[in-house]
Amino acid sequence: LKDAGVPVLGTQPEAIHLAEERGAFGRLLAEAGLPAPRHGTATSYAEAAAIAATIGYPVLVRPSYVLGGRGMEIVYDDATLEAYIGKATEVSPEHPVLVDRFLEDAIEIDVDALYDGEELYLGGVMEHIEEAGIHSGDSACALPPITLGTGEIERIRRSTERIAAGVGVRGLLNVQYALKDDVLYVLEANPRASRTVPFVSKATAVPLAKAAARIALGASVADLRAEGLLPVSGDGGDLPWDAPISVKEAVLPFHRFSTVEGHGVDTVLGPEMKSTGEVMGIDAVFGTAFAKSQTAAYGSLPTSGTVFVSLANRDKRSAIFPVKRLADLGFDILATAGTAQVLRRNGVDAEVVGKYSEGPGNCVERILAGDVAMVINTPFGNAGPRLDGYEIRTAAVTVGIPCITTIQGAAAAVQGIEAQLAGRVGVQPLQQLHATLRTHWQGPARR
C-alpha cells in the first residue's frame, strides 16, 4: 500500500519489518545493549542441528512471520528437531525456521506501551503465572505484577523505550520479556496493538487504543496528558501499592474438540496458542482475583474432595508446598507411586493409585468415575510424563474438572481456593475501581 502511494498512519511498514526480521532486530538489540536468548536462522535440518549444538537444547523452533505461535515447538533432542523440520514443508531461504535457546524456569513478562517518537507511556506490565514457554495468549497473567519489584519495572521501562525508539514506533508496542537469573531477556517485540490492550485498559482505567490512534494522527503523549486522555503524571508502570489486582485467564476449548481419530484433545500448554478467548478477574488481592478468573473461564475451583497429582521429576520439589497446603485445607491427595513417595516423605498423606498402563483401578478410571475434583499433572520434554499423561489430561476434560499442567498454575489455584474458603470473593463495580485509580492519577506528580 505504501509503495502504491497510500498514506500509512502511525508505525511505518519498514518499522514493522525491522521488528519481525530476526537478523535486523537482533542487531538493533545488540546496539541497544539489550540481551536476547541465543538464536539462529536455518533453512535445513543440518543448519538447525548445527545451531542447536551451538546454543544447546532445549530450543524453541518456529517459522518466521507467524501469529499466535503457529507452528512453534519446544525441542529437546536432534530426533525431534529433524521431525519438526520434516513437517515444515515450506522451509527455504524465503521461509526460514528460527531456532532460539529456550529459557527454562524463566518468568515471562508482557508489556503494552505507547510511544510518540520522544516519550514512552508504559501502559501496563503483566507478569505471567505460567513459566516462559507457554504462549502469552494461553497463559494467565497478573497486573500489577505480583512478584516484580520497582527496580525490575524500571529495567523494563528503559528496555521498552530503547526498543520503541530503535524500531521507530508511533503508537502501540507490545514487548515480551523473560526474566531468568536476574537477566532481563527480550523475546520479541510487536509494533502493534496486542490482544492484551483491552485487558490493560480495563485494569488501569486508561483507553490505550484511543490514545494510540491519536498518536498515529500526530498527537504526543504530552498532548494527551494535557487534555486528560492519559494521566497527568505517571503511567501503568507505577500503579499505587493498593491498586486492585487484575488477572487475565485464557479460555481453552478442549472439551469442544477431538482429534481426527476421535480421541480427546490434550490440555498441555505450549508455545503454540490454543485459546479462543479470555476472561478477567479483579479484586484487592491476587488469590481472590485468580479465583474469579477461573470461575469465569471454567467454573469455580473445588473447595473440597480429592486432588490427583502426577508430576514430572523436575517439578516434584516445587510442588511439595502447594500440595501440602491443599492437604492442610482438607483435600484428600491421590498420586502415582513416584509422586506419592516424595509427598509422603514431606509429611503429605497421599493415597497411591496406578498409572493408566497398570490395569484396573488406575488413575484414569478414578477420574472418569468422578472420584477426583481436580488434577495436577505436569509434563516434561517430548516423552515419558508428557506422553504418559495424555490419558490423564483428556479424562479430566471429559468429566469437566480443572486440569493444571504447571506448578505455577497449581500455586495460583491454591491461593484461589484459599480465597473461596475464606469467603473473600466479593463484587465491586468496575466504575468504582476506575474512579479510585483516576483519583490516584490526578494526584501530584510522583516521578
Residues 6+ apart with CB under 8 A from 184: 35, 152, 155, 156, 159, 177, 178
Contact predicate 228/442, CB 8 Å: no
Does the pLDDT at position 169 exceed 90? yes
Radius of gyration of the chain (CA): 23
**pLDDT tens column, 58-94:** 898 887 655 544 577 888 889 888 888 887 656 666 6
List residues bridging with 404 in a β-sheet: 376
Query: How far, in whole angstroms, is CA 415 from its chain's centroid?
Result: 18
Give the pLDDT band of residue 159 (cuts 50, 70, 90): very high
- Helical ranges in 88-239 per DSSP H: 150-167, 197-204, 208-216, 221-226
Q: What is the pLDDT of residues 279-300, one digit of tens each?
A: 999 999 999 999 999 898 877 8
Give the mean model confidence (pLDDT) for residues 332-338. Answer: 95
What pLDDT is recorded for position 68?
45
Mean pLDDT, to the nearest integer, of 128-147? 81
Mean pLDDT of 18-42: 89
Contact 378, 407 (CB under 8 A): yes
- The tens digit of pLDDT for each residue in 171-202 reads 999 999 999 999 999 998 999 999 899 999 99
Residue 76 · residue 92 · CB < 8 Å: no
Name the DSSP letter for residue 261: T
Query: Cis peptide before 58, with omega less than 30 degrees from 0?
Result: yes
How confident is the model at residue 210, as a pLDDT? 97
pLDDT value at 389 more than 80: no
**What share of the chain in percent tops pLDDT 90?**
54
- Specify the pLDDT at position 67: 53
Indicate if the pLDDT at residue 445 is higher than 60. Answer: no
Cβ-Cβ contacts under 8 Å for 334 (sequence gap 6 or more)? 306, 307, 308, 309, 350, 351, 353, 363, 366, 371, 372
Cα angle for residues 290, 121, 437 (degrees, 5° grid): 50
Burial class (CB in 10 A: 0-12, 13-18, 19+), 82: middle
Q: How far is the C-alpha of 44 from the C-alpha of 99, rounded, in Å?
A: 11
* Model pLDDT, residue 172: 97
375 grid coordinates: 488434577
Q: Sheet containing 59-63: which strands, arranged edge to edge?
A: 39-42, 97-101, 59-63, 73-75
Residue among 119, 97, 125, 411 nearest 243 (CA)? 125
- Residue 120: its pLDDT value, please? 98
pLDDT digits (tens, 9 = 90+) for 225-276: 999 999 999 999 999 888 899 999 888 766 555 554 555 555 566 666 767 7
| DSSP classification of residue 114 | E
Cα–Cα dist 48/70, whole Å: 18
User: Can you give the pLDDT at residue 290?
Assistant: 92
Residue 195 CA, chain-centre distance (Å), reads: 12
Query: Mean pLDDT across the chain, nearest whole number?
Result: 87
Domains and CATH numbers, the chain: 38-102 (3.30.1490.20), 107-239 (3.30.470.20), 248-422 (3.40.50.1380)
Flag whether pLDDT at 103 surpasses 60: yes
Instruction: Please tell me the predicted confidence (pLDDT) of residue 266.
Output: 58
Contact 371, 344 (CB under 8 A): no
- Residues paired with residue 61 on neighbouring β-strands, in sequence order: 73, 99
Per-residue confidence band for 438, with pLDDT thresholds at 50, 70 and 90: confident
State the pLDDT at residue 261: 53
Q: What is the DSSP string of 58-91?
A: SEEEEESS-STTTT-EEE-SHHHHHHHHHH-TT-
